[in-house]
Amino acid sequence: MKISARNALKGIITRITPSIVNAEVVITLPDGQQVVAVITLASADALGLRVGQEAYAVIKASDVMVGVEH
């Protein structure tokens, strides 16, 4: 797999929660942290995603926002 994004985090799919249009996919990284992505159900099906499968959370963002409570 070759991609242009610089952040590709390898982990294990630990949960897939499908809905009518989207699926929430949880990837647990080796250190226990989790990355959650919401993708289309069609994409989840096309990739053949299943719990226990190795997968990459690929992150490519031009903006990252930080907020705090006041």
pLDDT tens-digit readout, 11-64: 999 999 999 999 999 999 999 999 999 999 999 999 999 999 999 999 877 777
- pTM of model > 0.95: no
Helical (H) or strand (E) element with 34: strand 34-40
- Reported as a pLDDT band with limits 50, 70 and 90, residue 70 is confident
In this prediction, residue 65 carries a pLDDT of 76
Q: Round to the nearest angstrom and report the end-to-end CA distance of the chain.
A: 43
In this prediction, residue 6 carries a pLDDT of 79
- Say if domain 7-59 classifies as CATH 3.40.50.150: no
